[in-house]
């Protein structure tokens, strides 16, 4: 069981402001002291660049940096740490795969299959590749509750499908897609699968070998870690085939004015000086998560979602959008724009997201321009949900 009182004490922002009700975890999470300490101690006590020097500071930094890569490998159960690429985040990882796929795997007439509820980061890169190569972006529909229509999804798969890109959990609706089944179906027609794990990585255990996905990506800052760093997992056979995404130092084998040869993965995809301190912080965040236990976190957030659903659903004038399965609730209030909801809630110390959540096609599906979204993390409690309800009632009293 998650001991939220003890957990909240590890987050400086919640210690400094105990009344803060932070419910925007799907966008980014607050940072525990251990993550802050990891970054600060690296900068203040043993700072050095990586993979470039023979002096002690550089060697120490390199060892710690590479240790985090192996830590991530174990965290998601990849076969090898050579399958772990450090990126700027989920968006960067998707763009890396999309760019490479356009060069080596896609041809005119091929198809890329996504779902209707994808984040823009898992739509736009594929659109651009389709425009460049001459292939087609195919969209699998969802049902009225926001859940993927698996019958229609399977119908969309065919011998032209080269790639399937799917969000593990919808950031706008909190609906989890059956990614293991999706992967099995896609592999049956010879398609590769990329899973956007930005919304799942901090909320449930991920085993990329059990899923058998070809690619899996996530961002550190949604995992209680720092911004500016994330991870792309790719099966070694596919990373070996992909060309570099960017060019510069540390991703080469040899360079002459006539020809350059490139390092093997993952270094091939990590041009330039990497976000070293952020990688250290991400390692601390993984330690933090594992210290609590992902199964305990999943149970805590499941109970919290059920409580929130029961509390908010009867609220007059409140419409829940979709039927969430994880710790995200999107809703509208009759006659009140979500931006007004978010602004007024903020005046009461309640932080929620208001807008289209970088998922405009999802909003269009439900005939709304925007929603208010409350999303839960490990430090949230039923008291936060009660505060949200009081805040909603206050918004309605002010605006109606």
**pLDDT digit string, tens, across residues 152-164:** 999 999 999 999 9
pLDDT for 38 equals 98
pLDDT for 224 equals 98
Q: Which helix (H) or strand (E) holds 111?
A: strand 111-115
Give CA–CA dist 395/365, Å, rounded: 26
pLDDT for 170 equals 97
CATH topology of domain 4-25+293-399: 3.90.1150
**Catalytic residue flag (residue 135):** no
Confidence of residue 2 (pLDDT cuts 50, 70, 90): confident
Q: What b/e string do you get for 358-377 counting C-beta neighbours within 10 Å, with b at 16 or more? A: bbebbbebbeeebbbbbbbb
pLDDT for 227 equals 98
Domain with CATH 3.40.640.10 in the chain: 46-290
pLDDT for 107 equals 97
Using one digit for the tens of pLDDT, what is the confidence trace for 335-360? 999 999 999 999 999 999 999 999 99
Q: What is the dihedral of CA 79, 81, 84, 85, to 10 degrees?
A: -150
> Is the pTM here over 0.95, yes or no?
yes
Pairing of strands 252-255, 260-262: antiparallel
Using one digit for the tens of pLDDT, what is the confidence trace for 46-104? 999 999 888 999 999 999 999 999 999 999 999 999 999 999 999 999 999 999 999 99
Q: Which of 113, 237, 231 is nearest to 183 (CA)?
A: 113
pLDDT for 53 equals 85
Q: Which of 81, 87, 39, 59 is nearest to 280 (CA)?
A: 39
Domain with CATH 3.90.1150.10 in the chain: 4-25+293-399
End-to-end C-alpha distance for the chain, whole angstroms: 41
Confidence of residue 115 (pLDDT cuts 50, 70, 90): very high
Q: Which of 264, 243, 232 is nearest to 101 (CA)?
A: 243
Task: Looking at the structure, give the CATH architecture of the domain made up of residues 46-290.
Answer: 3-Layer(aba) Sandwich (3.40)
Give CA–CA dist 163/126, Å, rounded: 10
Give CA–CA dist 265/243, Å, rounded: 10
Torsion over CA: 67, 68, 70, 74 (sign): positive
254 φ, ψ (degrees, to nearest 5):
-135, 150
Does residue 375 sit in helix, strand or coil? strand
Mean pLDDT, to the nearest integer, of 249-261?
A: 92
Give CA–CA dist 137/126, Å, rounded: 7
User: Could you tell me the two tokens for 249?
Assistant: 């130092």
Q: Which of 198, 118, 111, 26 is nearest to 365 (CA)?
A: 118
Q: 367's torsion region: left (phi>0), alpha (psi -120 to 50) or beta?
A: left
Mean pLDDT, to the nearest integer, of 317-332?
A: 96
Mean pLDDT of the chain, nearest integer: 97
Helix extents (H) in the chain = 4-8, 12-16, 33-45, 56-76, 90-104, 124-133, 150-156, 179-188, 208-211, 236-241, 276-292, 294-312, 338-347, 360-365, 382-399
> Over pLDDT 70: what percentage of the chain?
100
Q: Is the peptide bond before 266 cis (omega within 30 degrees of 0)?
A: yes
Mean pLDDT, to the nearest integer, of 119-147?
A: 97
Give CA–CA dist 101/135, Å, rounded: 12
Q: Is 90 exceeded by the pLDDT of residue 1?
A: no
Confidence of residue 6 (pLDDT cuts 50, 70, 90): very high
pLDDT for 174 equals 96
Give CA–CA dist 270/281, Å, rounded: 18
Mean pLDDT, to the nearest integer, of 134-138?
A: 98
Q: Comparing 150 with 1, which gets the higher pLDDT? A: 150
Confidence of residue 400 (pLDDT cuts 50, 70, 90): confident
CA 200-206-207 angle, to 5 degrees, is 155
Give CA–CA dist 248/30, Å, rounded: 33
| Active-site annotation holder among 34, 58, 315, 358 | 358
């Amino acid at each position: 069981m998650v001991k939220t009182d003890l957990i909240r004490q590890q987050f400086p922002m919640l210690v400094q402001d105990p009344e803060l009700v932070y419910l925007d975890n799907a966008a980014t999470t607050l940072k525990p002291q251990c993550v802050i300490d990891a970054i600060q101690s690296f900068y203040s006590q043993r700072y050095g660049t990586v993979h470039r020097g023979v002096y002690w500071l550089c060697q120490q930094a390199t060892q710690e940096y590479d240790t985090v890569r192996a830590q991530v490998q174990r965290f998601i159960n990849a076969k090898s740490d050579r399958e772990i690429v450090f990126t700027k985040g989920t968006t960067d990882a998707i763009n890396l795969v999309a760019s490479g796929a356009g060069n080596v795997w896609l041809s005119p007439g091929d198809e890329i299959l996504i779902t209707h509820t994808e984040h823009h980061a898992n739509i736009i890169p594929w659109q651009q590749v389709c425009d460049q190569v001459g292939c087609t972006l195919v969209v699998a529909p969802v049902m009225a509750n926001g859940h993927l229509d698996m019958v229609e999804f399977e119908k969309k798969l065919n011998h032209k499908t080269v790639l399937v890109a799917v969000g593990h959990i919808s950031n706008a609706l909190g609906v989890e897609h059956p990614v293991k089944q999706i992967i099995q179906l896609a592999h049956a027609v010879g398609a590769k699968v990329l899973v956007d794990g930005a919304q799942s990585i901090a909320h449930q255990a991920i085993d990329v070998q059990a899923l058998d996905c070809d690619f899996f990506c996530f961002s550190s800052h949604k995992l209680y870690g720092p911004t500016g760093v994330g991870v792309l997992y790719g099966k070694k056979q596919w990373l070996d085939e992909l060309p570099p995404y960017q060019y510069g130092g540390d991703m080469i084998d040899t360079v002459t004015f006539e020809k350059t040869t490139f390092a093997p993965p993952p270094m091939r995809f990590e041009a330039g000086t990497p976000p070293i301190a952020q990688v250290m912080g991400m390692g601390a965040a993984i330690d933090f998560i594992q210290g609590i236990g992902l199964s305990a976190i999943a149970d805590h957030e499941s109970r919290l979602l059920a409580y929130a659903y029961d509390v908010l659903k009867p609220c007059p004038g409140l419409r829940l959008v979709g039927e969430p399965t994880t710790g995200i609730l999107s809703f509208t209030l009759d006659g009140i724009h979500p931006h007004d909801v978010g602004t007024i809630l903020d005046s009461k110390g309640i932080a929620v997201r208001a807008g289209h959540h970088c998922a405009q096609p999802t909003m269009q599906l439900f005939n709304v321009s925007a929603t208010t979204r409350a999303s839960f993390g490990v430090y949230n409690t039923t008291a936060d949900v009660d505060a949200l309800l009081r805040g909603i009632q206050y918004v309605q009293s002010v605006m109606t």
